[in-house]
Chains A and B, each alone.
Chain A
Amino acid sequence: MSSKLPTFLGLHRLTAQIAPIVVVCALVFALPLLLNNDFLLNKVARYLVLGILTVSLALSWGYGGILNLGQAMSFGLGSYAMAMALKLKTIPVHTGSGGLPDFMVWNNVERLPWFWVPFKSLTFALVAGIAVPALVAAALGWFVFRSRVTGVYVAIITLATMVVLNLVIIDQQSYTGGFNGITDLAQLEIFGFAFDAYGRATYYLVASCVALSLVVAFAFTKSKAGLIVQAIRDHESRVRYFGYDVAAYQIFVFALSAAIAGLAGMLYTIVMEFASPTFLGVPLSLSVVVWCAVGGRQSLVGAFLGAVLVAGMQGALSETAAFLETWTLVMGALFVLVVLFLPKGLAGLMHTLWQWLTRRRQPASAMVQSLEQTEGRI
């Protein structure tokens, strides 16, 4: 094989992989031109945020082989970080400057708890919304991956950690708003510019973050570290024998995934205008897994579209009286069928279709395919 051909094939494949990302981002940005309804736009923004969350799961699950059943924990941490900062902005209005958030007053809290104090700075909150989930994930990852815990145990440990955090937040009502969450927030204001949840600016903020997270995730999967992570997914022990620190790479992808989920959580608070313990609850966390599986866990765009489509459908159908009750049943069935018959999700189905179509036209693509597979295996 000449040395130029693989590079050419690599480039060809790279273009084919970037194209869907560009198309999806273009559609996301173009939507407000077609949709002249702020209420609907807010709803779409909500689904886009869930799409970002699902991309973050695809990164750790599809590419890293780490099934995180507690992905909503990172999402919730980001959401609360943003909500705490926005809540503190309302204090002069509600209880006078130097006062406390309203729910603390109702619960007879005397002083602002220490972990609330830094959130008076919006910059701190913005950093914390991403850094806290990443650090928590890294710490949990250190425990889990350093001791070579794999597969199902990781899933259970992540799920249980999230459940405990959820219980603690609900239990510590006087510091966290408990079951009600943190409501009645100020609008996010950056350099004097306010982001209204129903405004265009907020939609474009979300859209930019969609593009950002897709690009960051894609760049990671193409980086050397990303390739090693995928190799670990396929043959953990082989990569270990090559002398790589397997746990370090796993911890990294786990933390990166949590950081993106944290970003999504912050956006969700801005779009929904509150933070709630349900944001780090079991139902949301498992829904993310469904979206990811339906869209295709080994495709970033697939996972994103899976979330937007299924969550959007869910939203639409649950507002229709006929499906209000049965929708969950339908979703459960859909999910079982996807797991059984489409292990690579809709993205996998599209890929198979595309292969089938192109193979008819040009037999040479079969060679490209086999080269790609060899390369993919490293």
Chain B
Amino acid sequence: MDQFIEQIVTGLSIGSILLLVALGLSIIYGAMGIINLAHGEFVMLGAYAAWLFQTKFGLSLLESLVPIFLVVALFGWVIERYVLSLLNNRPLDTILATWGVGIMLQQAVRLAVGSELRYVQLPPALSDSMEVLGVPVSSYRVFLFFVALALFALTWLLMNRTTIGMKLRAIIQDRSVAASFGINARRVYALTFAYGAGLAGLAGALVSPLKSVSPEMGTGYVVDAFMVVVLGGVQSLAGTVASAFILGELSGAIAFLQNDTVAKAIVLLAIVVLIRFRPQGLFTARVRA
């Protein structure tokens, strides 16, 4: 029984990291139709920013979260403004362009700070462990779970309860009609992309104490995050949350029985089979045609 609960809790922890990384990707794809292959590099930038703020300015991880969000969002804004906005109506080419941007970011970081592994310290207040349902869990992982949920709630509110969110939804429905109502699609897109990038940066900063920070760290995350978005169904934030936790629990459970690699292989095969029968993903937002 204890082991079962431990499994559930591990799965939740994996799921919350997946959610953190996939949330920004999901918004960018859902709203703009852009497959952002530089997403992993935004995650990596966030992790490096966390390391930089910690070692150079002596800020703790929690204190530096807001500046990290802003810095990575700025990167996103510049990239949208000067690269992606030139690729209107060429969705497949955005894959290529964002990948090109991704390798540039990777190499730039390698040139700037070197390719050796870096480590970020846990926030002191969250470095011990606590009991959840009778199972000892590191406090930091519990914290991540709640941060992931909070960021999801914030994003949902932004999309559904603010003017900018309303404008974005109007553009998604029909861009030309939205434009004729005076909505500046260019600016809304730039803000959306910047917000998604900022979320990825936060994700990177938040996972940085759990793993070593390296220029290549983003590649692994981006594939996982795409799996979440594909499984959840695009344009469905709720689907993203649900599939992040389903995948988290699934990988946790299979990894317990086998090993991480086998878990990954089985989860992927399951997704490919699922796509055969439900290409629109598990959860689909109802769209009025």
Contacts and interface: CB of A to CB of B under 8 A. Distances in A.
Interface in A310-353: 325-326, 328-329, 331-333, 335-336, 339-340, 343
B276 A156 contact: no
Given A325-B111, A329-B107, A336-B101, A167 B275 contact: no
Given A157-B272, A343-B93, 16 more contacts: A67-B95, A143-B273, A144-B276, A149-B279, A155-B35, A156-B35, A156-B226, A160-B268, A160-B271, A163-B223, A171-B261, A282-B219, A328-B106, A332-B102, A339-B93, A339-B97
A280 to B, nearest CB: 14
A335 B96 contact: yes
Interface in B260-276: 261-262, 264-265, 268-269, 271-273, 275-276
B259 interface: yes
Contacts of A293: 96
A23 B107 CA distance: 37
Interface string A147-186: 1110111011101110110011011000000000000000
6 contacts: A143-B273, A149-B275, A161-B272, A289-B99, A332-B100, A339-B87
List the 3 closest pairs (A to B, CB-CB), nearest first. A332-B104, A335-B100, A336-B100
Interface of B: 35, 83, 86-87, 90-93, 95-97, 99-104, 106-108, 110-111, 219, 223, 226-227, 230, 259, 261-262, 264-265, 268-269, 271-273, 275-277, 279
A21 interface: no
Contact of A340 (B97, B99, B103, B230): B97
Given A155-B35, A160-B227, A333 B275 contact: no
B111 A153 contact: no
Contacts of A156: 35, 223, 226, 230
Contacts of B100: 290, 332-333, 335-336, 339
A146 B96 contact: no
A126 interface: no
B104 to A, nearest CB: 4
A168 B96 contact: no
A239 interface: no
A286 interface: yes
Interface in A269-310: 282, 286, 289-290, 293
A91 interface: no
A144 B110 CA distance: 37
B91 A336 contact: no
A336 B104 contact: yes
Nearest to A152: B35
Contacts of A149: 275, 279
